[in-house]
Amino acid sequence: MKKLNRYLLLLFGSILGPASFAQTESTLYFMNSLSQVVDVNPAIMPRYKISVGLPLISSFGAIYSNNGFSYNDFTTKVNGVMTADLSKWTSSLADKNYVTMSMQTDLLRVGVRIHPKTYFMFSSTLKGYNRAMIPKGLATLAVDGTAPLVGSFSNTAPQEEGILYNETAAGLSFQVNDRLTIGGRLKYIKGLANITTESSSLVVQVADAYQITATGSADIRTSGIYNLGQSGYKVGDHFGDYLKNSGWGVDLGATFQVMDRLTLGASLVDIGYVKWMNNTYQYTLDPAKAKYTFQGVDINQLVNNNTSYINAQGDSIQAKFKMKETPMGAYTTMLPAKMYLSGKFDINDNLSVGALFFSESFRGRYASGLTASLNKNFGKVLSTSVSYTVSNRSYNNLGLGISLNVSPFQFYIVGDNLLRAPVSLVASQNLNSYINSSQLLTIRTGLNIVFGWDKGLVKVKGVEDDSHNPRKNSGNKKVTHTIGRPTRKRTR
């Protein structure tokens, strides 16, 4: 068990230490001045015809999400003094509380408008995702003890999911006609490390006579972690082993202009898998063996401070719940898949409002949310977006997106709960209220090299005679065949 705990900490550090990714980003969806917008819908064509992202500085993103609690749920102010209130915390919890952290960084990104109707995209990105599930039963047991469980039972087993991988993606966005645009990206995945909880259970039952029985079972699988705990092991010397884990993924998207100012969009992102083959280990608990009944302690032994007696009790529990560590063959996990459904209404050429429904599905858990946004372009120099998001039982998320475009440089920062930070700073001269009440925070920032701002469609006056009809003016060098130009005289 101690070994597994060490490996879990190592995986957690490997994901959060370097830059890595996952989860939904909603404010970014309406920032089409950025080439990174294709990460949420590959059908959206960025405004710049050429965009290049250099290693590490092009894009860094991080997400924190907690559907169970915030810091304020731990505390209560009594006579002006903030004190811990763990009963308040346990009462605020959901049955299953998910704490998710993810990060990402671009190693390289290139986007090019290779044709007026076609946009090519390529990227290589390091991504990581870590999710812990804390059951309410475990928190209640820690705070209130076993008294509330007399005559009943509670499942108190937590779960852990973690994945670290590199993604290389290439794709196209294509304008089918004046209304419909489709896009897609094919992704080649190289898995670096993984932990997957296939199943876990720790049932604590308290009889009427206060006899406590705990029964555990677990099936946990890991890749690329076991060797990290071995003395003298260096990842750099064995990096080739980590390239054995591979998989594929795909992003699909579309936008459809319903009327002149209304556009609908839909996308599926990170539909894919990784097959883990390197350094794979399985950790299991057999419920027939992982069972312990506590019938009380010998008070005399405690009074006499008999350390051997106390240690024996602890050793007995540890022996019962020691996980079996076994090398195993290859196994497969899916990526955290995401879906976006959007609507955008253009008030004028530089001002629009948007609405977005988004969801994430990963290992049996489905989480969703809604975002409303107001988006404004100040020419091509400054693009902005403000948003409001409801997600994961969190209702106080004011987002902000800013893109400063001074070609060839483009600096941007986008976040789903970013605007509350300066609001809190102005209102109370500190960030305490913002930090203490936040359950969601996403941020994406970086620097792109950009060229060729696309001004969009320009209305032109129709030709009312045959002066530009190539069939009747074949000798005129200024008259050429062009796609979409009518060859017949227009009539009123």
Q: How far apart are CA 99 and CA 467, in angstroms?
A: 67
d(CA 253, CA 40) in angstroms, rounded, equals 9
Residue that the structure tokens 């209702």 belong to: 395
Q: Is the pTM of this model over 0.85?
A: no
State the fold for domain 26-453.
Answer: Porin (2.40.160)
pLDDT at 336 over 80: yes
In the predicted structure, residue 474 carries a pLDDT above the cut 60:
no
Number of Cβ within 10 Å of residue 2's Cβ equals 10
| 244-295 confidence digits (pLDDT tens) | 999 999 999 999 999 999 999 999 999 999 999 999 999 999 988 888 887 7
Q: Provide the pLDDT confidence category of residue 432 given band limits of 50, 70 and 90.
A: confident
Find all residues with CB under 8 Å of 191, minimum gap 6, and list them. 163, 164, 165, 223, 224, 242, 245, 246, 247, 274, 275, 276
Domain spans of the chain, in order of start: 26-453
What are 281-335's pLDDT values in tens digits?
Answer: 999 999 888 888 877 666 666 667 777 777 777 788 888 888 999 999 999 999 9
Q: What is the pLDDT of residue 412?
A: 98
Q: pLDDT band at 489, cuts 50/70/90?
A: very low
Q: What is the mean pLDDT of the chain?
A: 84
* Span 453-469, pLDDT tens digits: 987 654 445 555 565 55
Angle 162-334-21 from CA coordinates, rounded to 5°: 45
Determine the 3-state secondary structure of 117 from DSSP: coil
Q: Residue 490: is its pLDDT beyond 70?
A: no
Return the closest-CA partner of residue 53 out of 64, 39, 63, 66. Answer: 39
Give pLDDT, residue 198.
93
Residue bearing tokens 């064509």: 45
